[in-house]
Structure 1
Amino acid sequence: MQSPQSTQSNLSPLVPAYDSILELAPYQTGKPVEELTREYGISDVVKLASNENPRGCSPHVTLAVTEQLGQLSRYPDGNGYYLKQALADFNDVNADQITLGNGSDDLLDILARSFAGADDTIVYSQYAFIIYPMLAKMQGATAIEVPAHRFGHDLKAMSQAVQDSPSTKMVFIANPNNPTGTQLERKALREFVASVPSSVLVVLDEAYIEYSPESNNRALLEDFNNVVIVRTFSKAYGLAGLRVGYALSSVPVADLLNRIRQPFNVSRVALAAAAAALTDQDFIEKTRVTNDEQMRWLEKQFDALGLGFVKSHANFIMVEVKFEMEDTTAAMIHQALLEQGVIVRPLSAYGLPNWLRITVGLAEDNLRLIDTLRSILTED
C-alpha cells in the first residue's frame, strides 16, 4: 500500500484540493456474493453483511420496473416530479421540501459539499456511520468525533462540542445508528436541536426508520429550519441495487441542495421503482414483523452461545466475538464464516475489532448462520 507521500508524488504536479483527501481509504463495501464464489468456489452463499432486505422488494416494484424497460433510451425526469409528489403525500410535506439522491450516501455528500468547507467543522459520534468522517476529509473540513455513550450518540456531549467549536457547520446523527443499532428518543433529539445555533445544520440519517417507526423525527421540520432528514429505499424497501434516497428539509435548504445535485442523479427505473414501493406499505409492515421475530430469535441464540450483543432497533445486530484465548479473534471468526459461505461485516474500521455486524436474514439464513457459528466456536 502506498503512503500518502508516495501517492502525492505520483500525482505531482496534480494534487488534490485538500491534504486530508490523501488520508482517505476507499470505503469497504460488504463482500459481494459473486466475489466469495470466485474466491472459494462456494455456490450456496448467505449474505448477512450489507443490511439488505432478505425478502427482496415489493411485487409492485417488479411491475413498475418492467414497464420502464421500453424507455431506457430516454433520460429520466430530472426533477423526479411523480416520486416527489408521492413522497410529499407520504411524509406530509411540500414537494419543494424534497431532494432526491442516488441513494442516501449521495445526499449526505451533497449536504457536505453544500454547507462545509475547509474552514468549517463537522461533528459526529464515535461508532456512527463511517461515511461522516470521510465527508469531512473530502471537504478539507475539521472533523470532531464525540465519544459514544453505551455505543450510541451522547447528545449532551455533542451539543457541548458544537458550543466549543464556533466553526461547526454540520452535525451528523444516525438514528437508528449504523453499525451499533442504538436509538435516540424524540424528546432528547428535540432538546439537542434546540441547543445548537440555528446556523448549524443537523442532519438526521434515518436509513433504518422503517424498522423503528418511533424514531421518525419528521415533526422537527415544523419547528427548526436547520434540520435535514435523510432516508433511503435501499434497506426496508429492498431497492439497494437501484440506488435512490431522499432528503426532507426546509424549502431554502432544499433549494440549495437541488442546485448542487447532478441533474439526472436518479435513473428513470429507480424513480418508478421507488414510487411503486411507497404504495405497498403492507410489504413494509410484513418486513418489519419478520425482522422483529428473527431478531428476537437471534438474540436468544447469541445468549446461548455466550456472545454479547447490543440491543438493535434496525435490521442488523452488533455481536461481540471476544474470547479469553488470545489467539482467537473476531477477524478469524469472520474469515472462518466466509470460508463456509456466510458473509457478515467485521467492524475493525469502526474501532470495534472484537465485534461483527450481522444482518437479520430470513429464518433459514439465520439458522445457517447460527449452525455455522456454533461449529466454528466448538472446534477443537
Structure 2
Amino acid sequence: MCPVQLDGIGPLARFSRRSFLRYSAAASVVASVPILTEAHLARAQRNTLPKNIPPGAVRIDANENPLGPCSGACSTISGLIPEGGRYDFDLTEKLEKTFCEMEGFKPGYVMAYAGSSEPLHYTVLAFTSKDRPYVTADPGYEAGMYAAKVNGAKVLMVPLTKDYAHDVKAMVAADPNAGVFYICNPNNPTGTITKYEDIEYAVANKPKGSVVLIDEAYIHFSDASPSFDLVKADKDVIILRTFSKLYGMAGVRCGLAIGRPDLLAKLQLYGMNPLPIMAVAAATTSLQVQELVPQRKKINADIRQETFEWLAASNYKFTPSQTNCFMLDTGRSGKEVLAAMQKKNVYIGRVWPSWPTYVRITVGSHTDMEKFRAAYTDVMNSSTAGLEPMPLPRRLRETPFTHLS
C-alpha cells in the first residue's frame, strides 16, 4: 500500500499541526457522507417492513452473484479464521503487489479497499466542491451523486446515447469547471459499453485539474476494453475494480482503486482503515485462478442470452447488456411492476427517474430466471394498479440533480 506522507513524514510518525487539521477536516466530511453501496440502494426500494427479503425469494435486485466466492477463496477464508485477531497488513500488500504484477503496474499504483464504494466516494469528496461539479450518465449508478450532494457539488446528469453508451462529448462540455467525470463501463444499470476511444476523448478533453473516474465493476462479464493504459500513461484517471460481481464476494467486501500515487494519496485523507484479512486473502486467491473469469463470464452470458431470447420472443423490450444486469421496459409504471413482482416473492431491481417504465433485472441462476419469467408473465397479464412500493428514505429522495438534455 502506498502510504500517505504527512508534511514529509510517514503515517505512523507524529502529526504536524497542519497535517492534523487537514486530516480532521477530511474526517469531518466523511462523517457526514453515508458510503452507499448497491446493497443500500436495492434495500431502499423493497416494499417490506422490515426490509429483509423473506426465505425462498428470488433475489435479483442487487447485482449479486449467486455463485458466491470460488472454492479456492472459500478455503482461504476458512483457513484464516484462526488469524482473525490479527491485522496482518502484509496480506493487503500482497494483494496489491499481485495485482500490479499481473496487470503491469508500477508499485504504488494500486490501493485496496473494502469494496469499490469507498474509493468511489472518496474520489468524489477529493475532487468536487461547490465550484467543481460532478458529471455522470443518466441513467447511471447513483452512489457518487449522493457523495457530491453532501460535498456541496452540483450534479450534472447527461443522457446516454441512442446506443446506450456514455455521451462523453456532452459530458466534457457539461461544465468547464467540473471536478469528476464518472464513467461506469460497462454501465450500471444498462449493462452497456462505452468504447475505449470515447473514454480516451474524455481524458484528453476534460478540464485541467479534474479526474475521470472509471468504474469497471462489471468489466469481467463483458468484452469492454479496460482503461489500464490511461493510468500507465499517468493520465488524470482513477479506475475502480471490485471483487463483488464476477468474483462473487459482495458480502466479503474487497475492491481496488488504480491510479497515479499522487491521486490515490488524496483519497487516503478520507480513510485508512485496516482491511479484513479474509477479504484481501480471498481476493488474492481469486486473481490467481486462471480459469475463473472465463468460466463465470460464460455461465452468466448463457443465462443472460436464454433470458433475452425469451424476452424477445415475448415482445418485451430490453437493453442489449453485456453484464449481469439489464434494463427491462415494462410499458407501464416500473414501480408498480416492481411491487407486483415482490408480491410473487421475486425481488427485481429499482427504477431510474429518467426511465420510469424500466426496471433493472440482475441475471441470477437458471432457477432464479425461470421463476422470474413465470412471475413476470403473470404480472404483465394482470393489473398492477395500487401496488406502489414504499418511497425512498428522505436522504435518497431530496436530490437536486441537474438533468442535461
For 1:146, the equivalent position in structure 2 comes to: 158
- Distance across 1 between alignment mates of 2:338 and 2:256: 33
Task: Name 2:118's counterpart in structure 1.
Answer: 106
Q: Could you report, residue by residue, the CA deviation over 1:298-355 in whole angstroms, capped at 9, with x for unpaired residues?
A: 11111222211011121111100014xxxxx32222122112221101214x432211
Aligned partner of 1:200 in structure 2 is 210
Does the residue aligned with 1:197 lie in a helix, a strand or coil? coil
Shift of 1:262: 2.0
Structure 1 residues 1-380: aligned runs within 5 Å? 28-31=40-43, 43-77=55-89, 80-150=92-162, 151-161=164-174, 165-264=175-274, 266-323=275-332, 329-348=333-352, 350-379=353-382
Structure 2: give runs of 5+ residues left out of the alignment: 1-27, 384-405
Structure 1: segments with no counterpart, 5+ residues: 1-16, 324-328
> What displacement does 1:219 show?
1.2
Partner of residue 10, structure 1 = none
Is the CA contact 2:185–2:224 (under 8 Å) kept in the aligned structure 1?
no
- Native 8 Å contact 2:193 2:224 kept in 1: no
Q: SS at the partner of 1:203?
A: strand
1:183 touches 1:215 (CA, 8 Å); kept in 2?
no
Distance 1:262 1:78, change over 3 A: farther
Change in 2 beyond 3 A, CA 1:377/1:188: same
With the length of structure 2 as denominator, give the TM-score of the two structures: 0.80
Moved over 4 A (4+): 24-28, 34-42
Code of the residue aligned with 2:60 in structure 1: it is L
CA, structure 1 residues 96+41, in 2 after alignment: closer, same or farther (shift >3 Å)?
Answer: closer
Report the alpha carbon displacement of residue 230 of structure 1 after superposing the two structures with TM. Answer: 0.6
SS at match of 1:287: helix
1: CA distance, partners of 2:219 / 2:37: 27
Q: C-alpha distance in 1, partners of 2:91/2:79?
A: 20
Judging changes above 3 Å, is the alpha-carbon distance between structure 1 residues 42 and 97 closer, same or farther for their aligned structure 2 residues? closer
* Letter of the structure 2 residue corresponding to residue 80 of structure 1: T
* Whole-angstrom distance in 2 between the partners of 1:345 and 1:48: 7
Match of 1:168, SS?
A: coil
Residue 43 of structure 1, CA deviation: 3.1
Quickly say closer, same or farther: Cα 1:51–1:310, change in 2 above 3 A: same
Checking the alignment, whether the CA contact within 8 Å between 2:76 and 2:282 is kept in structure 1 is: yes
What is the rounded CA distance, in whole Å, between the counterparts of 1:93 and 1:125 in structure 2?
A: 29
Preserved CA contact (<8 Å) 2:203 2:235: no
Q: What is the CA deviation profile of residues 225-246 of structure 1, one whole-angstrom value per residue up to 9, with x for unaligned ones?
A: 2011111110000000011110
The CA RMSD measured in Å over matched residues stands at 2.7
Deviation at 1:195, TM superposition (A): 1.4
Identity rate, percent: 24
Q: Go from structure 1 to structure 2 and tell me whether the alpha carbon gap of 1:25 and 1:105 turns closer, same or farther (over 3 Å shift).
A: closer
Aligned length: 350
Normalised by the length of structure 1, the TM-score is 0.85
Q: Distance in 1 between matches of 2:57 and 2:155?
A: 38
1:8 aligned partner: none
Q: Whole-Å Cα distance in 1 between the matches of residues 48 and 166 of structure 2?
A: 34
Report the structure, 1 or 2, having the larger helix content.
1
